[in-house]
Amino acid sequence: MNGIPWLTVAGALPLLGSIVLTLIPPVPANSAPGDVEARDKLAKVLALAFSVATLAWVIVMATRFSTSGPTYQLTEQYSWIPQFGVHYALGVDGIALVLVGMTAVLMPVVLLASWHDADRGATRRSVKSYFALMLLLETMMIGVFEATDVFLFYVFFEAMLVPMYFMIGSFGEGPRQYAAVKFLLYSLFGGLLMLVAVIALYVYAGDSPATGHHGTFLLSSLVHVALSPTAQKWLFLGFFLAFAIKAPLWPFHTWLPDAAASAQPGAAVLMLGVMDKVGTFGMIRYCLELFPAAVSYFKVLILTLAVISILYGAVVAIGQKSMKRLIGYTSVSHFGFIVLGIFALTSQGQAGATLYMVNHGFATGALFILAGFLIVRRGSDRIEDYGGVQKVAPMLAGLFLVSGLAGLAMPGLSTFVSEFLVLAGTFSRYKVAGSFAVVGIILAAIYILWMVQRTTHGPVSESVASFRDLRARELWAVMPLIALIVAMGVYPKPVLDVINPAVKATMSQVHVTNPVPAHPAPAANAAHAPGANSSHLKGNQP
Number of domains in the chain: 1
Report how far residue 542's alpha carbon sits from residue 538's, in angstroms, rounded to the nearest whole number.
9
- Whether 280 is covered by a domain: the verdict is yes
Q: What is the pLDDT of residue 512?
A: 75
Report the pLDDT value the prediction gives residue 540, as an integer from 0 to 100: 36
**Statement: residue 416 has pLDDT above 80:** yes
Q: Is the pLDDT of residue 146 over 70?
A: yes
Q: How confident is the model at residue 121, as a pLDDT? A: 47
- pLDDT exceeds cutoff 70 at 523: no
Indicate whether 180 belongs to any domain.
Answer: yes
Asked whether 132 and 118 are in contact (CB, 8 A), the reply is: no
What span, in angstroms and rounded, lies between the C-alpha atoms of 433 and 384? 35
Per-residue model confidence as pLDDT tens digits over 457-485:
878 777 777 888 888 888 888 999 999 99
- Among 74-78, 385-389, 516-520, the least confident range: 516-520
In a domain, 407, yes or no: yes
- Is the confidence at residue 35, as pLDDT, over 80? no
Determine the average pLDDT of the residues in 503-529: 66
pLDDT at 58: 95
Distances (CA, A) of 263 to 291, 324, 485: 36, 9, 24
pLDDT at position 213 is 61
DSSP letters spanning 322-368: BHHHHHHHHHHHHHHHHHHHHHTTSHHHHHHHHHHHHHHHHHHHHHH
Q: Which among 300, 439, 451 has a CA at the least distance from the CA of 374?
A: 451
pLDDT of 534 over the 50 cut: no
What average pLDDT does the segment 442-457 reach? 87
Mean pLDDT of 422-442: 89
The whole-chain average pLDDT of the chain stands at 85
**Cis amide bond preceding 248, omega within 30:** yes
Given a cut of 60, whether residue 521 has pLDDT beyond it is: no
Decide if pLDDT at 382 tops 60: yes
In a domain, 15, yes or no: no
What is the percent of the chain with per-residue pLDDT over 90, rounded to a whole number? Answer: 30
**DSSP β-bridge partners for residue 87:** 79
Q: Is 253 a domain residue? A: yes
Distance separating alpha carbons of residues 141 and 101, to the nearest angstrom: 11
State the average pLDDT over residues 492-514: 86
Q: What would the mean pLDDT of 217-241 be, rounded to a whole number?
A: 87
With CA atoms as reference, report the closest residue to 356 among 413, 436, 431, 292.
413
What confidence score (pLDDT) does residue 15 get? 95
* Residue 236 lies inside a defined structural domain of this protein: yes
pLDDT band at residue 104 under the 50/70/90 scheme: very high
Domain enclosing residue 198, as ranges: 77-126+141-532
Look at residue 44 and tell me if it is in a domain.
no
pTM attached to this predicted model: 0.87
Residue 93 lies in a domain: yes
pLDDT at 161 over 50: yes
User: Residues 215-226: what's their mean pLDDT?
Assistant: 83
Of 13, 101, 92, the residue nearest 58 (C-alpha): 101
Whether pLDDT at 532 is above 80: no
In this predicted structure, the answer to whether residue 325 has a pLDDT above a threshold of 90 is no
Q: Which of 334, 162, 154, 160 is nearest to 253 (CA)?
A: 334
